[in-house]
């Protein structure tokens, strides 16, 4: 069985700040799927069109073989229009291949994917077992988690139960990926080569803007031993010196976090790393262990300075504790990245001003502002669709840089104005520039910071 797996192209809109400072990360789900079917005996080719900067029409030219039985394309929402164009180009080049779409957007909207004549199947949710059963020849009607067409009817088979033990998964198929192209965002790393990886699926939060359907509501994690096995593989085979853990909440379990930190602290040479956390999942001891183990940056999602807005988002954090957690992380020796959103349900000019003020008052080392985006499959999307708040379903605009909701008190023009000015408002203050300059550790770090600052300063305005 010969399979081509494609990470969909991604178009960076010029008005999106992250066009200039964003990194390039591997598609961890697709890399895991590749390893899983390789283990079962499939022949697999892999194209990361996003990392390679390929347009949909250019993807077929990067193919190594003339014969594929199945082609799988993974797509997030903002990349979905490009994923459909990629499917069209590949179907024209390989008409004998069955075209399969997976990822967040096809999982949430399988009927939309199947409306394309170039798409034969949709794998919903966690894809390893569903995709393997499909390419192994099992009757599609008996495959859980699969959607398909019968004549003009769309069929959604029952959802598949999630893998209870992630340790059954092999190390992702990094050897198939363009490893030399991956890098963290500017200001987010200290050593190269660097890569991102995931050690768990799921999140303890139930925020209305997050898509829980892909990985499920229950957190499942790999054992510390399996995590270290993957890290050893990356260091030995690719010389990786830094890792960004892209788990939704790396620190969801304090006992496991401590176990991982003890193992990471024992690595020689030492590994540099960063992670994402919630302010309600860390304490002074855990933060100290993380820093000692090589963590140089931790990201906390704060989202808003308004308790009412946080309640609307079901964020479930206490704003009174945020400042103390940020200070404790910095005191331990880590940089702190804080993430905020503007254009939330309940937002208005006053609450967005309060959020900008909170960002300044917290004095984090890095901030990230996004426009709140109701992705299909989330509670927020269902709410906005029902209330008539969505102003477009042009998925290419669902990129955290365009307002796609018209909310009372937060019309699109106001939200985009706040987004466009938020980073300048934070980064271009003399106080911040001086504080950042005093913490620079090397000429390389100075150069990265300068590039990031100029990218923000020169960000186009609409």
In a domain, 171, yes or no: no
Mean pLDDT across the chain: 92
Q: Is 166 helix (H, G, I), strand (E, B) or coil?
A: helix
Domain range enclosing 238: 179-457
Sequence-distant (≥ 6) Cβ neighbours of residue 14 within 8 angstroms = 460
CA atoms within 13 A on the CB side of 329: 32
Q: What 3-state class would DSSP assign to 90?
A: helix
Spatial CA neighbour of 296 closest among 229, 369, 244, 220: 244
**At a CB cut-off of 8 Å and minimum separation 6, what does 236 contact?**
none
The reported pTM is 0.92
pLDDT for the residue 83: 98
> Token pair for residue 124?
């919903």
How many C-beta atoms surround the C-beta of residue 177 within 10 A?
A: 22
How would you class 144 by CB atoms within 10 Å of its CB: exposed for 0-12, middle for 13-18, buried for 19 or more?
Answer: middle
- Side by side, which strands form the sheet with 2-7? 43-48, 2-7, 70-74, 98-102, 121-123, 146-150, 153-156
Q: Identify whether residues 146 and 243 lie together within a single domain.
A: no
> What is the average pLDDT across 150-166?
94
How far the first Cα of the chain sits from its last, in Å, is: 49
pLDDT in tens, 94-114: 999 999 999 999 999 999 999
* C-alpha distance from residue 219 to each of 99, 200, 444 (Å): 31, 7, 38
Question: Is pLDDT of 424 > 90?
Answer: no
Asked whether residue 90 falls in the same domain as residue 185, the answer is: no
Question: Is 404 a domain residue?
Answer: yes
- Compute the distance between CA of residue 453 and CA of residue 462 in angstroms, rounded to an integer: 19
Looking at the fold, whether 124 and 239 belong to one and the same domain comes out as no
Q: Are residues 129 and 263 in the same domain?
A: no
Name the residue among 180, 199, 196 with its Cα closest to residue 188.
196
pLDDT at residue 409 is higher than 80: yes
Residues 253 and 133 both lie in one domain: no
Chain centroid to CA 416: 22
Contacts (Cβ under 8 Å, ≥6 apart) of 104: 75, 76, 77, 211, 214, 375, 377
Residues 399, 370: Cα–Cα separation, whole Å = 9
Q: Is residue 151 part of a domain?
A: yes
Domain CATH number, residue 382: 3.80.30.20
What are the φ and ψ backbone dihedral angles of 236, each rounded to 5 degrees? -70, -40
Whether residues 143 and 196 fall in one domain: no
Which DSSP string do the residues of 91-153 spell out, in sequence order?
HHH-TTSEEEEESHHHHH-HHHHHTSTT--EEE-SS-HHHHHHHHTT--GGG-TTEEEEETTE
Instruction: Tell me what pLDDT residue 164 has.
Output: 92
Q: What is the CATH number of the domain that holds 64?
A: 3.40.50.280
Task: State how far the Cα of 178 lies from the Cα of 393, in Å rounded to an integer.
Answer: 32
If one counts the domains in the chain, the total is 2
pLDDT in tens, 259-307: 999 999 999 999 999 999 999 999 999 999 999 999 999 999 999 999 9
DSSP-derived letter for residue 168 is: G
pLDDT band at 15 (very low <50, low <70, confident <90, very high): low
12 and 95 housed in the same domain: yes
| 188 & 322 share domain | yes
Based on the fold, state whether residues 213 and 108 are members of the same structural domain: no
- Mean pLDDT along residues 330-351: 97
Q: Are 270 and 342 in the same domain?
A: yes
Residues 6+ apart with CB under 8 A from 332: 284, 287, 288, 290, 291
């Amino acid at each position: 069985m010969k399979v081509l797996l494609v990470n969909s192209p991604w178009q960076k809109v010029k008005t999106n700040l992250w066009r200039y400072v964003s990194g390039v990360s591997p598609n961890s789900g697709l890399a895991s799927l590749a390893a899983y079917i390789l283990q079962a005996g499939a022949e697999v080719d892999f194209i990361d069109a996003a990392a390679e900067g390929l347009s949909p029409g250019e993807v077929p030219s990067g193919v190594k073989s003339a014969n594929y039985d199945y082609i799988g394309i993974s797509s997030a929402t903002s990349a979905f229009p490009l994923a459909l164009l990629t499917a069209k180009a590949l179907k024209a080049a390989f008409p004998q291949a069955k075209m399969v779409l997976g990822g967040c957007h096809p999982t949430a909207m399988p009927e939309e994917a199947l409306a394309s004549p170039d798409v034969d199947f949709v794998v919903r949710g966690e894809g390893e077992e569903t995709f393997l059963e499909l390419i192994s020849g099992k009757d599609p009607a008996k495959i859980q988690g699969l959607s398909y067409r019968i004549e003009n009817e769309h069929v959604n088979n029952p959802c598949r139960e999630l893998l209870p033990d992630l340790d059954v998964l092999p190390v992702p198929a990094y050897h198939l990926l363009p490893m030399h192209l991956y890098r963290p965002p500017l200001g987010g790393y200290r050593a190269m080569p660097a890569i991102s990886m995931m050690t768990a699926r799921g999140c303890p939060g139930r925020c209305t803007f997050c898509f829980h359907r892909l990985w499920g509501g229950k957190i499942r994690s790999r054992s510390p031993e399996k995590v270290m096995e993957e890290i050893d593989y990356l260091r030995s085979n690719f010389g990786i010196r830094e890792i960004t853990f892209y788990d939704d909440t790396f620190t969801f379990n304090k006992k496991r976090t401590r176990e991982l930190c003890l193992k990471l602290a024992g690595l020689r040479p030492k590994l540099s790393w960063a992670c994402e956390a919630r302010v309600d999942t860390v304490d002074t001891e855990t933060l100290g262990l993380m820093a000692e183990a090589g963590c140089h940056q931790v990201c906390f999602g704060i989202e808003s300075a308004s308790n009412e807005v946080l309640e609307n988002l079901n964020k479930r954090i206490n704003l009174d504790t945020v400042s103390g957690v940020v200070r404790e992380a910095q005191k331990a020796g880590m940089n702190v990245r804080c993430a905020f959103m503007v254009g939330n349900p309940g937002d208005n000019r006053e609450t967005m001003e309060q959020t900008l003020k909170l960002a300044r008052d917290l004095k984090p080392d890095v901030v990230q502002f996004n426009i709140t985006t109701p992705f299909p499959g989330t509670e927020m999307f269902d709410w906005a669709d029902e209330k008539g708040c969505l102003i477009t379903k042009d998925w290419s605009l669902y990129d955290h840089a365009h307002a796609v909701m018209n909310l009372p008190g937060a019309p699109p023009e106001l939200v985009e104005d706040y987004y466009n000015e938020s980073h300048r408002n934070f980064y271009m203050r003399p106080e911040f520039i001086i504080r950042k300059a005093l913490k620079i550790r090397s000429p390389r770090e100075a150069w990265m910071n300068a590039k990031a600052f100029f990218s923000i300063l020169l960000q186009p305005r609409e």
